[in-house]
Amino acid sequence: MATAAETSPSTVQKISLLRVLGPAHVWALGVGIVLVGEFTGWNFSADKGGALAALIVCWLVGLLYTSVAMIDSEVTSTVAAAGGQYAQAKHIVGPLMAFNVALYLVFAYTMLEVSDAILAGDLITQVATENGAVGLNHNPFLVLSIVVLAWLNYRGILMTLNINFIITALAYASIVILFFSVQPWSQGVVLKLGEMVTPENALPYGWIGVVAAFQFGIWYYLGIEGTTQAAEEVRSPARSLPYGTMSGMITLLIAAALTWYVAASLLPWQHLGVTFFPLYDAAVATGSPILKFLMFWGTVLSALASANGCINDAGRAWFSLGRDRYLPTWFSAVHPKYRTPYRSILFLMPIALAFAFISDLNQAITFSILSGLLQYTFMSINIIMFRNKWPLGSIRRGYTHPFHPLPAVVLLVLCVVTYFAVFLGFGAQLTAMVIFYIIVSLWFHFYRYQYVRRGDQFTMPWPKPRGY
């Protein structure tokens, strides 16, 4: 039964989100969400295929995400609205696709937030126990991190992303300091890549191990597409979004290469593939208390920066669904003082806490990866439809990505390979998630769509698409 808010006459949204962000904030959002993947997650690809497989997928998945960044920069700088890929889908494809894309976004970011909280809590507990603490568990840290970061997002995006910029920069600096501290120019002094990665163990499971490694190789860069969620709050979308996203991708490619080189040169691939804290363990292997301290805080800060950005992005995707009546309009409220989608942020907080208590880190990571993959598959289709409906020159674009349709084809092919890799390790979870999204799609089509005012969704002043 429809609520009163949904059956009453349409009202004007008097309070909107603030346009206060620049390119640095976009960078802080994108890199902040992703950088935790250099501190943990990517290394599980070594367990699937060996240390060399982890390096191969680092660059191949980097190609996938470079395609994502280019495609997102073009479409989002043109469709500058909260919800990112959701806003793109409703303008270019249609309501059912838009609804599903928004769900992919919410689950990808919420489960990544859960992974971040588990990671930070486990590391703090482990280090405290090593230093004599007794009876600790990670639950208080899970609650504290999620609640405090939700409060921070509640209070305003400018403050949130200013803080994210600082802690992301500090975490990134810790990787650079570690790299130069182990004398990378002198193999054999500290680093021993030739001993750790040999012709006999480089690819212990052959090329099928490389394919399997795609499942966690995606963790090197997962979340860079989150920059699009700030589209409605940047001062100049045509400038800030492409600059922030592309510079963020370059930043992450460098961090991924440095991370692999140091970790693979200090840790045996068997240990590298199963530890939850590869860079922290690499610092321990050097024997330096200073590097150990540095990587402890780098790991914790990267996890907090990622969770902070995830709360921001998941809240805006959920808010967008409410604003377009895909969900009850109650979720579309904007705080009169802080100008944030506060109801959506607060609604998703207990959901994240529940998953944090019942999930382990591998499950949470896989859930986030699968939701992200579904979204990337949509993006490859979306950009082709976008170029066909509105060819170059028909509308103003803030950025035009080169070599079309090659990035879309590369993205789709690499997504298919990664689906197969996930199926090899988590086939049951992949099947269950697909069934879940089908059921929710049927609910939207047969029940919720009747409340959607489709004509109100299209906010872009574009001409009719070609062939209309």
- The tally of CA atoms less than 13 A away on the side-chain side of residue 278 is 34
Question: In DSSP terms, which residues pair with 395 in a beta bridge?
Answer: 392
pLDDT tens digits along 89-138: 998 998 999 999 999 999 999 999 999 999 999 999 999 998 888 888 88
- Distance in angstroms (rounded) separating the CA atoms of residues 114 and 364: 7
pLDDT at 460: 82
pLDDT above 80 (res 461): yes
Q: How large is the average pLDDT for residues 28-56? A: 95
Query: Which of the residue ranges 256-260, 264-268, 397-401 would you say has the lowest mean pLDDT?
Result: 397-401
Q: What is the 3-state secondary structure (H, E, C) of 28-65?
A: HHHHHHHCHHHHCCCCHHHHHHCHHHHHHHHHHHHHHH
Give the whole-angstrom CA distance, residue 113 versus residue 365: 10
Q: Answer yes or no: is pLDDT of 346 > 90.
A: yes
CA 374 to chain centre: 13
Which one of 133-142, 334-343, 355-364 scores highest in mean pLDDT? 334-343
What does the pLDDT average to over 291-297? 97
The mean per-residue pLDDT over the stretch 7-15 comes to 49
Give the dihedral of Cα atoms 413, 414, 418, 419; nearest 10 deg: -30
Predicted local distance difference test score (pLDDT) of residue 364: 84
- The answer to which of 160-174, 248-262, 415-429 has the lowest mean pLDDT is 415-429
Q: Where do we find the tokens 């073009």?
A: 74
Q: Quote the distance between the C-alpha of residue 61 and its chain's center.
A: 14
Is pLDDT of 316 > 70? yes
By three-state DSSP, how is residue 340 classified? coil
Phi and psi angles of residue 21, each rounded to the nearest 5 degrees, phi first: -100, 150
- 314 within 8 A of 82, measured Cβ to Cβ: no
| Helix/strand/coil for 462 | coil
pLDDT value, residue 57 = 96
End-to-end CA distance of the chain, in Å? 35
Mean pLDDT lowest for which of 11-15, 251-255, 301-305?
11-15
Tell me what pLDDT residue 381 has: 92
User: Torsions phi, psi of 131, nearest 5?
Assistant: -100, 20
Tens digits of residue pLDDT in 19-34: 999 999 999 999 999 9
Question: Is the pLDDT assigned to residue 11 strictly greater than 70?
Answer: no
| One-letter amino acid of 213 | A
pLDDT band at 2 (very low <50, low <70, confident <90, very high): very low
pLDDT of the residue at 14? 60
What is the per-residue pLDDT across 59-102, written as a single tens digit (0 to 9) for each? 999 999 999 999 989 998 888 888 889 999 998 998 999 999 99
Q: What are phi and psi of 345, to 5 degrees?
A: -65, -45
For residue 91, CA distances in Å to 16, 72, 81, 88, 416 come to 20, 14, 11, 5, 25
311, amino acid identity: I
Report which residue type is found at 240.
Answer: S
- pLDDT band of residue 55 (cuts 50, 70, 90) is very high
Over residues 332-351, mean pLDDT: 96
Provide the pLDDT confidence category of residue 9 given band limits of 50, 70 and 90.
Answer: very low
Mean pLDDT of 435-461: 89
The sign of the CA dihedral 172, 178, 183, 189 is: negative
Structural domains of the chain, with CATH: 24-455 (1.20.1740.10)
Distances (CA, A) of 59 to 20, 113, 419: 34, 25, 18
User: What's this model's pTM, rounded to 2 decimal places?
Assistant: 0.92
DSSP, collapsed to helix, strand or coil, labels residue 392 as: strand
Which of 311-315, 396-400, 402-406 holds the top average pLDDT? 311-315
Model confidence at 275, in pLDDT bands (50, 70, 90)? Answer: very high
Percent of the chain residues past pLDDT 90, beyond the cut = 74
